[in-house]
Amino acid sequence: MTTQFPLVLHAHRLRKTYGGLEAVAGMSLELPKGKITGLIGPNGAGKTTMLNLISGVERPTSGTIMLGGQEVTGLAPHLLVKRGLVRTFQICRDLGRLTVLENLLVARPAQTGETLLGALMHRRSARAEEGAGIETARGILERIDLWRLADEPASSLSGGQKKLLELSRALMLKPDIILLDEPAAGVSPAMEQVLIAVIRELVAGGLTFLIVEHDLDVVAALCDQVYVMLAGSELTRGTFAEVTKDPRVLDAYMGART
């Protein structure tokens, strides 16, 4: 599989071991700019570990990660955020007691008013930043049809709405790349279609996605290229149509074929 689009991220021969267990075994992955890449495979294939390595949640045992032409191997998540890479999680990490709007506002980068000195010495700047943050959050929530729930506690949202909320918080960080871990898990069919439409719109605006997803209908609907992992390494890659015709992929998902 080749691409004519410039690469924004290249993970090269990543390995991750836990004692005698090799969770990721020399896996490489490329993300073309403005495209959606899918990462699929059976349970235990190493997909989430791969996502953890790329997002800085865990450090690889060996291998390199290049982001925007610079090596970022082992860089902490908050430093990767500053470089434009943001990750969501399979289990939503919303702040349930805060409102939907407040969940987005706390996701903003450091603000002048967050420190006592800043609040006292730069009140006008702090107020201006807060106002700008609210406007940014409103634009994001309107885009994904959650503004009507802006003052509701996050705990009151449905599973699908919480997935959209987590994506919205990621957008508050103004990323270039978003890594999504099981975005459709626990989402109703109707909300799944909303999620797909939102991601397509974001890609049209220039964002790049890496999506780990078990729902192959979502992968088929979204992904420009797909990597299939098995036992910590690449089994195959290509378009969704190409990889799902591969007998090895069918074996991996459904067991030995007769």
Q: What is the pLDDT of residue 163?
A: 87
User: Residue range 28-33: average pLDDT?
Assistant: 96
The tokens describing 127, both together, are 């107020």
Q: What is the mean pLDDT of the chain?
A: 87
Provide the pLDDT for residue 213: 93
From CA 133, how far away is CA 113, in angstroms rounded?
12
Of the candidate ranges 2-6, 103-107, 152-156, the one whose mean pLDDT is the lowest: 2-6
d(CA 115, CA 185): 38
Write down the pLDDT at residue 116.
Answer: 47
Scanning the structure block, which residue is given the tokens 């020399």?
26
199/14 Cα distance (integer angstroms): 27
What does each C-alpha distance from 160 to 25, 51, 202, 239, 247 come to in angstroms? 33, 21, 18, 27, 33
Give the pLDDT mean for 78-107: 83
- How far apart CA 209 and CA 9 sit, in angstroms, is 11
Q: Which residues does 76 contact at the CB level (< 8 Å), separation at least 6?
A: 56
Cβ proximity of 24 and 50 under 8 Å: yes
Q: Between helices 159-171 and 189-204, what is the axis angle to 10°?
A: 20
Between the ranges 32-41, 106-115, 149-158, where is the mean pLDDT highest? Answer: 32-41
Q: Could you tell me what percent of the chain has a pLDDT over 90?
A: 64
* Contact assessment for residue 166 and residue 150, using Cβ atoms and an 8 Å cutoff: no
- The mean pLDDT of 168-188, rounded to a whole number, is 91
Tokens of 215: 């729902």
Taking alpha carbons only, the member of 166, 160, 168, 163 closest to residue 143 is: 168
Confidence band for 13, pLDDT divided at 50, 70 and 90? very high
Q: How confident is the model at residue 53 (pLDDT cuts 50, 70, 90)?
A: very high
Structure tokens at 100: 């939907």
> Phi first, then psi: what are they for 8, rounded to 5°?
-100, -20
Please give the pLDDT value at position 160. 84
User: Tell me, what's the pLDDT at 252?
Assistant: 84
Contacts of 251 by beta carbon, 8 Å cutoff, 6+ apart = 257
Q: Is the pLDDT of residue 115 over 50?
A: no
Q: What is the mean pLDDT of residues 1-15?
A: 81
Under a CB-based contact definition with an 8 Å cutoff, are residues 183 and 155 in contact? no
pTM metric for this prediction: 0.85
Confidence of residue 257 (pLDDT cuts 50, 70, 90): very low
- Mean pLDDT of the region 28-53: 95
In the chain, the N- to C-terminal Cα span, in Å, equals 29
Asked whether the predicted pLDDT for residue 95 surpasses 90, the reply is no
Helix or strand holding residue 253 (H, E): helix 247-254
Whether the Cβ atoms of residue 15 and residue 25 lie closer than 8 Å to each other? yes
> What local confidence, expressed as pLDDT, does residue 232 receive?
95
